[in-house]
Every structure is written in structure tokens, then in C-alpha cells.
């Protein structure tokens, strides 16, 4: 349920084109729906402009399909992150219109309207960081912000990053994804005047400590204003970038920036 749909229902009742009983049926799960194993926040898109996302890891294929069934019945677009291949195949069998990407472990049905504004750029230090980078990129696509990408541009060869200087300058927000020592976000933040969101990944040998070393590097950055999300959290970085740029409030007016 988003703002425009709620206004449509209220206007229908006000004009007499929709009965109060029909409106009650449409609003029966407002603002939440309990499935026993999941309590869906159907109010979130109206409240925040972003529908509830399904975190697939740890959920059975049957649980995921039950959640998808309810959300699609309600007319809500949906995004699933960290979905296993088995669960994704089950969803695709019942909803062939779903868009599944095995690399990022995401699956979406529908998307939000085009958000407009400057692009969000996703840069990744290495090819091994692509699962996290693509989780961010696919989330941005779902949110109506098709991203620009620059991959395998880590600090071991800074000339690769320099070739994307024009694109970085034009971006509204840059998401920088890196494992190992995690220095890429600091370098990017030192080159541009737009917000940079660092995403540490769990990529690297033993001393990278499963992503703790790049996390500490980014948190300790001398490039002021660098924002950092949790290890491997491409989804969280994409949502943060989307909110930084402002979202439509359902009436064609930009949200607070």
C-alpha cells in the first residue's frame, strides 16, 4: 500500500464509486499482516516510500513463497535479498515475471517508479566484490535508480579508477565496495564532493578477518564525510543512497533532502 493507492481508495469512497465495505476489504491488512511465521509491514511504503524487503537467508522456500503470494496479492512491488537458488526457482515457477540474479542473490517482482535526479554510481575494488556490488546495483534498480557501474577499479591500479573521473563527478552519490584492506572508499571520497558510502566486504586473506579489517579502515578514514555500512551490506548502502537523494512522496513532490 503506497500513498497514491491509499488516496485512490479514499477518493473512491468519497465520490461514491467505491463502497465502504470494498474499501475495508482492501485495507484489511493495513498496516500489517500476520502469516504466523512472518508479520508483514504493509504500511512501510506509505510511511517510508520503500516497501518491506524480504531477507531470504534462513527462510524456507515455502515461507518465501507465502510472503511473495501475500505481497503480490496486495499489489506491492517486492525485492528479496540473499535468496538461495532453490527458493528462487520455486518463486520463478509460480511468478515467471520475477527477475532473478544469481550473482547478487536477489529477486524482484516489479519496481518503484523512476526516481529521477542524479545517478548513483557503484564502484567495486575487485571482481570478487561483485556479489555485494551487484546487490547494491540491483537494489537501486528496484528503487527506480538505474546505477552506473565501475568494477575492478581498486587501488592496486589507480589509473583504472581515474578513467571514471567524469562519471564520479556527475554522480549524486557513490557507493564504493571493497574487501582486503578496504582503501577504495577513502580514495574516492578524497576525489569528489558528493556523498560516498563505503561497503566493506568479507573478501580477503586471513588478516582481513572476514571483513573487519576493511570495516575498520573505512571507519578510520581521513576522508571526511565518508559513510560506512555493515560488512557485505550492499542493500543497506543502496537504500541509504536512495534516501540521501530524496524520494517522491506519492504526489509527485520530492521528499526532504
Show which of 110, 137, 161 is a domain's final residue.
110
Tens-place pLDDT, residues 121-159: 999 999 999 999 999 999 999 999 999 999 999 999 999
With both helix axes pointing from N to C terminus, report the angle between 61-73 and 85-94 in degrees, rounded to the nearest 10: 40
CA distance 206 to 44: 40
pLDDT of residue 247: 65
Residue 5 forms part of a structural domain? no
Tens-place pLDDT, residues 199-208: 999 999 999 9
Q: Write the CATH number for 232.
A: 3.40.50.1970
Q: How many domains does the chain contain in total? A: 2
Tens-place pLDDT, residues 218-257: 999 999 889 999 999 999 999 999 999 986 533 334 443 3
pTM equals: 0.82
Count of CA atoms in the C-beta half-sphere (13 A) of 239 = 15
CA distance 143 to 163: 28
Q: What percent of the chain has pLDDT over 90?
A: 65
Q: Identify whether residues 239 and 131 lie together within a single domain.
A: yes
Of 180, 165, 163, 185, the C-alpha closest to 214 is: 180
Q: Identify whether residues 79 and 124 lie together within a single domain.
A: no
Beta strands 54-55 and 39-40 are unpaired
Domain that holds residue 131: 120-244
Torsion of CA 44, 2, 77, 249, to 10 degrees: -90
Amino acid at each position: 500500500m503506497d500513498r497514491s493507492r491509499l488516496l485512490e481508495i479514499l477518493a473512491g469512497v468519497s465520490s461514491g464509486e467505491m463502497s465502504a465495505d470494498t474499501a475495508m476489504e482492501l485495507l484489511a491488512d493495513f498496516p500489517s499482516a500476520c502469516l504466523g511465521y512472518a508479520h508483514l509491514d504493509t504500511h512501510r511504503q506509505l510511511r517510508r516510500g520503500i516497501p518491506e524487503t524480504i531477507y531470504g537467508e534462513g527462510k524456507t522456500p515455502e515461507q518465501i513463497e507465502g510472503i511473495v503470494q501475500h505481497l503480490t496479492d496486495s499489489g506491492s512491488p517486492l525485492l528479496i535479498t540473499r535468496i538461495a537458488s532453490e527458493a528462487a526457482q520455486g518463486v520463478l515457477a509460480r511468478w515467471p515475471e520475477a527477475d532473478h540474479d544469481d550473482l547478487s542473490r536477489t529477486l524482484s517482482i516489479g519496481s518503484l517508479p523512476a526516481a529521477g535526479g542524479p545517478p548513483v554510481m557503484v564502484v567495486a575494488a575487485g571482481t570478487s566484490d561483485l556479489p555485494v556490488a551487484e546487490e547494491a546495483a540491483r537494489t537501486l534498480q528496484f528503487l527506480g535508480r538505474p546505477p552506473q557501474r565501475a568494477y575492478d577499479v581498486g587501488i592496486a591500479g589507480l589509473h583504472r579508477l581515474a578513467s571514471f573521473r567524469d562519471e564520479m563527478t556527475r554522480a549524486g552519490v557513490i557507493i564504493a565496495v571493497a574487501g582486503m584492506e578496504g582503501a577504495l572508499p577513502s580514495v574516492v571520497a578524497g576525489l569528489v564532493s558528493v556523498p560516498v558510502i563505503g561497503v566493506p566486504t568479507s573478501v580477503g586473506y586471513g588478516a582481513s578477518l572476514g571483513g573487519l579489517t576493511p570495516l575498520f579502515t573505512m571507519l578510520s578514514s581521513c576522508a571526511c564525510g565518508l559513510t560506512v555500512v555493515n560488512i557485505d551490506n550492499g542493500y543497506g548502502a543502496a537504500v541509504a543512497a536512495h534516501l540521501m537523494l530524496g524520494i517522491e512522496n506519492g504526489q509527485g513532490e520530492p521528499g526532504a533532502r
